[in-house]
């Protein structure tokens, strides 16, 4: 999708906010703990390569991504730090993983056996064994299975480096810790059968790193909190202030007085009860601003302005408190005057989570980077 550089809609990403969030977390980390910045999904919509650079500047020691192509993009851009792919990669790409020194999550012995068929002499893949302690996504399910896989890795140490082992907690961002503790106990049962721990033992995503000290891991997968968003929404308070890195802004491109009884948008779902000023903003669901946000609000000149009528593919309409000139700034995420709209506000109005909103902003919205030391 082509970036819309000739319209006023833009995402501002504050590099210093990203650095600050990482630095705050590093102050709480135990000695000898690594922090891998989770920059999958284009850095949660903030920009893969930019966020990678800011993370390193703040002290991150490696990266986590979701798919092989994201890892390759980092290598092609010159990043030499450790990279872990958290998702399953097809076994036939094992030689590419080996050649590019990219680590990969492995959830079964079958994957290792198949990957071994593709490896040539001298090629070795770094693997992190995934343990399914209750997330139900990928991973070994029983300690006995882990014993067999570890034995396989020992037997095939020329082809595979057992670099890490990990699990993922499903409820680390919730008040009730019952299921979290169940996963902790299962993880400990897994670890009890290991003959030798690998270099990296990691259980902590953002939520776990913020609110739990469990399992004795030595690496943190720092994701949503890196971008200044609370992984629990409003349920739990972070132990330090998180600095939101992303703001979304646009401007009025059309302003008119709508007479009483006239309607706005597809389906004529909004009808003016009085004479009103209506502004049009050039952003819509094709940009990742959800259609279901009709009735939510944006900020103009510090005023909350309701979104009226259905959000269109490329435009939305708002009710203004007065006439404003074309070109007046519209804030969809961020601050204006004394008021603010957070990503959590948007997510709650859209009945989802901030992760989905941030990742959903399309490439049609240009990203501008503030406090970039290389800009």
Residue 125's pLDDT band (boundaries 50, 70, 90)?
A: very high
Residue 144 has pLDDT above 80, yes or no: yes
CATH number at 297 reads 2.40.37.10
pLDDT value for 215: 65
User: DSSP letter at 226?
Assistant: G
User: To which residue do tokens 């408190």 refer?
Assistant: 321
Helix (H) or strand (E) holding 299: strand 297-300
Judge if 203 and 274 occupy the same domain: no
CA 217 to chain centroid:
22
pLDDT value for 2: 87
Classify residue 345: in a domain, yes or no: yes
Classify residue 87: in a domain, yes or no: yes
Classify residue 350: in a domain, yes or no: yes
Residue 229 marked as a ligand binder: no
Number of domains in the chain: 2
Return the percentage of the chain with pLDDT > 70, whole number: 99
User: pLDDT tens, 228-263?
Assistant: 999 999 999 999 999 999 999 999 999 999 999 999
Q: Is 195 a catalytic residue?
A: no
Judge if 70 and 161 occupy the same domain: yes
Give the largest CA-CA distance in the chain. Answer: 79
Residue 137 marked as a ligand binder: yes
Is the full-model pTM beyond 0.85?
A: yes
Residue 214 has pLDDT above 70, yes or no: no
Lowest mean pLDDT among 91-95, 105-109, 369-373: 369-373
Residue 368 has pLDDT above 70, yes or no: yes
CA 6 to chain centroid:
27
Judge if 220 and 255 occupy the same domain: no
Judge if 223 and 254 occupy the same domain: no
Q: What is the mean pLDDT of the chain?
A: 96
Residue 287 has pLDDT above 90, yes or no: yes
Nearest to 29 by CA among 206, 186, 152: 206
Choosing from 40, 93, 324, 355, the catalytic residue is 40
Choosing from 157, 197, 259, 266, the catalytic residue is 266
Classify residue 76: in a domain, yes or no: yes
Q: Is 266 a catalytic residue?
A: yes
Classify residue 221: in a domain, yes or no: yes
CATH number at 61 reads 3.20.20.10
Judge if 169 and 46 occupy the same domain: yes
pLDDT value for 155: 97
Full residue range of the structural domain in which residue 342 is found: 246-370
Mean pLDDT of 78-92: 98
Mean pLDDT of 34-50: 97
């Amino acid at each position: 999708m082509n970036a819309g550089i000739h319209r006023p809609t833009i995402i501002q990403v504050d590099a210093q906010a990203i650095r600050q969030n990482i630095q705050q977390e590093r102050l709480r980390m135990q000695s000898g703990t690594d922090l891998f910045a989770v920059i999958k999904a284009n850095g949660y919509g903030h920009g893969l390569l930019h966020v990678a650079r800011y993370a390193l500047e703040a002290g991150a020691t490696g990266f986590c991504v979701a798919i092989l192509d994201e890892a390759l993009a980092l290598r092609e851009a010159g990043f030499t730090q450790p990279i872990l792919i958290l998702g399953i990669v097809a076994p036939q790409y094992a030689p590419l993983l080996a050649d590019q020194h990219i680590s990969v999550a492995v959830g079964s012995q079958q994957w290792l056996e198949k990957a071994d068929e593709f490896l040539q002499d001298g090629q070795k893949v770094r693997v992190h064994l995934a343990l399914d302690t209750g997330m139900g996504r990928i991973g070994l399910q029983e300690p006995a299975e882990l014993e067999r896989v570890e034995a396989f890795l020992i037997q095939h140490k020329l082809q595979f480096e057992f670099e890490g082992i990990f699990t993922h907690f499903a409820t680390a961002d919730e008040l009730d810790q019952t299921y979290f503790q169940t996963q902790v106990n299962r993880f400990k049962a897994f670890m009890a059968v290991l003959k030798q721990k690998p270099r990296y033992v990691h259980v902590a995503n953002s939520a776990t790193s913020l609110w739990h000290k469990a399992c004795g891991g030595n690496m943190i997968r720092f994701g949503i909190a890196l971008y200044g968003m609370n992984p629990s929404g409003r349920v739990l308070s972070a132990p330090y202030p998180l600095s939101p890195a992303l703001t979304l802004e646009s401007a009025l491109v059309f302003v008119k007085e709508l007479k009483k009884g006239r309607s706005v948008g597809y389906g004529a779902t909004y009808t003016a009860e009085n004479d009103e000023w209506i502004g049009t903003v050039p952003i819509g669901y094709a940009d990742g601003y959800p259609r279901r946000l009709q009735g939510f609000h944006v900020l103009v000149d510090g005023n909350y302005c309701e979104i009226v009528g259905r959000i269109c593919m490329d435009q939305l309409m708002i009710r203004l408190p007065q006439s404003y000139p074309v070109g007046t700034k519209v804030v969809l995420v961020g601050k204006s005057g004394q008021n603010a709209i957070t990503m959590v506000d948007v997510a709650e109005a859209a009945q989802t989570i901030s992760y989905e909103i941030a990742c959903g902003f399309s490439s049609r919205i240009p990203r501008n980077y503030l406090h970039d030391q290389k800009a």
